[in-house]
Amino acid sequence: MAASEVAPRRTAAGPAQADLDKCVHCGLCLNACPTYRELGVEMDSPRGRIYQMNQVAAGAPMTPGYVEHLDLCLACRACETACPSGVPYGRMIEAARAEIRKRQKITLGGRILRYLIFERLLPSRIALQIAGAGLYAYQASGLQKVLRASGVLKLLGRVADIEALSPSAEVPFFYSKIGKIFAPVGQRRYRVAFLSGCIANVAFARLNEATVRVLQRNGCEVVIPAAQNCCGALHVHSGLEEQARALARRNIDAVLGGNFDAILTNAAGCGSTLKEYDHLLADEAGYAERAREFRRRMRDVNEFLASIGLNPELGRLDAVATYQDSCHLAHGQQIRSAPRQLLQAIPGLKLREMRLADGCCGSAGIYNLVHNDMAMQILEKKMADVNATGASLIVTSNPGCMLQLAAGARLYGSGQRVLHVVEVLDESYRAAQAA
Ligand code: SF4
Ligand code: SF4
């Protein structure tokens, strides 16, 4: 298995001047940028944002405008793919945001909110289970349906936008599987560790179960490490690198020494960060080498399955599907052919490419909550491309994209189903069994 290249990360605040200097201002990235395509404003393009980072690096003040233009970036890294000069935009925007977080004065309310989300909720199984139970009660009791139908939520402004994108709580939560080992079907070919995420244990429990089943069908002994934790991707994207480093250390401790052939994730956004632990911890004497070892074994589940020779006992699924590249898989990890290869192996499934399949859907971590208007504009255009394929199934490789696309199918589509690649494979294996 060849590890996909991921650009090295800079850990100190502020983009490195050497990275900034790589931009020759050619503008070839502009049309790849979703915010530039929407607004047509240079300062909301990759080139414009790099120009502003350069100004700040040269001593210009961090104006509210600077913060706004950088905040509006989806960090989708489409510009990185388009750039012929190898500008490592992903690590530059993360470093710039870390610098903003360091220097920006935040209100007490903002500090408390950030502390609760990033330090108390995401890394805590108990807190996530309590939040998940609350969400489940809200949805299962019918209160969500009543409130949505009554239009009361619309009176609450942003709350309605956020509520519309909230995931479903899936009981039983996947937390019940953490610490367990699942035996392979047939002869054991690999021993793998599966990192099941944080929110995904509550909101994507069925996806995680499907992932385990597909791996079992492919001869994997699947271990769900007991001491695993949130990967820290949302922390990194929000400029909270210290907290991300603490989570990285915990995950490395949780899996190294387990004699695994591979460490797997089914979330492209998490995978991108997990594959950068070696850079995140490059300066830590006790962890640098262990982080490199972790990185050597880290794989996205698509990448892993496509590399081991997929079990061909797949059943027929008669449907037309279109594949939406998740930004952090296509641009962040350069994995494009593996998910398509897996889908094309399914008998009966027709894969129809959409226009701009690797253009962001507007999800981008918590971007669709924070910049809901822009995220929805981008989503509407994405759905026009999806609708033009006539597909009844939208397939992707990241839970966040699944939520956004499900909202898109509801609001601007024809109610298409939205599934992860491993869920489609799982349905196909089950169809074969049933037959
Ligand atoms: S980021 Fe790359 S493509 Fe964009 S202006 Fe700079 S050099 Fe050109
Ligand atoms: S990361 Fe995406 S949104 Fe941000 S500048 Fe690059 S292409 Fe535009």
Residue located nearest, by CA, to atom 7 of ligand 2 = 33
Residue located nearest, by CA, to atom 6 of ligand 1 = 23
Pocket of ligand 1 (CB under 6 A): 23-29, 46-47, 50, 79, 82-83, 85, 87
DSSP string, 299-365: EEHHHHHHHH-----PPP--EEEEE---HHHHTTS---HHHHHHHHTSTTEEE-PPTTTTS--S-TT
**220-223 and 181-182 as β-strands: parallel, antiparallel, unpaired?**
antiparallel
Summarised one tens digit per residue, pLDDT across range 334-393 is 999 999 999 999 999 999 999 999 999 999 888 888 899 999 999 999 999 999 999 999
Which atom of ligand 1 lies nearest, measured to the CA of 27? 5
- Enter the CATH code of domain 174-306: 3.40.50
Summarised one tens digit per residue, pLDDT across range 2-45 is 333 333 444 446 899 999 999 999 999 999 999 999 999 999 99
pLDDT number for residue 153: 77
Q: With beta carbons less than 8 A apart as the criterion, state whether 57 and 20 touch.
A: yes
pLDDT < 50 stretches in the chain:
1-12
Instruction: Find, among 394, 398, 397, 385, the residue nearest to 418 by Cα.
Output: 394
Which atom of ligand 2 lies nearest, measured to the CA of 360? 2
C-alpha–C-alpha distance, residues 332 and 268, integer Å: 8
Q: Which tokens sit at 15? A: 């983009």
Distance 29 CA to ligand 1 centre (A): 6
11 phi, psi to nearest 5 deg = -95, -25
User: What count of other Cβ atoms lies within 10 Å of the Cβ of residue 201?
Assistant: 24
Ligand 1 pocket: which of 22, 26, 30, 76 to mutate (most atoms <8 Å of CB)?
A: 26
Q: Which tokens sit at 163? A: 């509520």
Residue located nearest, by CA, to atom 3 of ligand 1 = 83
Residue located nearest, by CA, to atom 5 of ligand 2 = 46
Exposure string of 293-308, with b = 16+ CB inside 10 Å and e = fewer, is ebbebbbbbbbbbbeb
C-alpha–C-alpha distance, residues 82 and 9, integer Å: 19
Query: Which bound ligand lies closest to the C-alpha atom of 378?
Result: 2
Q: The whole model's pTM is what?
A: 0.92
174-306 and 313-434: same fold? Answer: yes
pLDDT number for residue 5: 35
Residue located nearest, by CA, to atom 4 of ligand 2 = 73
Beta-strand runs (E) in 214-265? 220-223, 262-265
Q: With beta carbons less than 8 A apart as the criterion, state whether 317 and 395 touch.
A: no
Rg (CA), the chain: 21
DSSP string, 114-170: HIIIIIIITT-HHHHHHHHHHHHHHHHTSHHHHHHHHTGGGGGTHHHHHHHTPPPP-
Which atom of ligand 1 lies nearest, measured to the CA of 24? 7
Domain ranges for the chain: 17-103, 108-164, 174-306, 313-434
User: What count of other Cβ atoms lies within 10 Å of the Cβ of residue 141?
Assistant: 10
- Enter the CATH code of domain 17-103: 1.10.1060.10
pLDDT number for residue 106: 79
23 phi, psi to nearest 5 deg = -75, 125
Ligand 1 pocket: which of 25, 53, 80, 81 to mutate (most atoms <8 Å of CB)?
A: 25
pLDDT number for residue 147: 87
CATH topology of domain 313-434: Rossmann fold (3.40.50)
Distance 417 CA to ligand 2 centre (A): 28
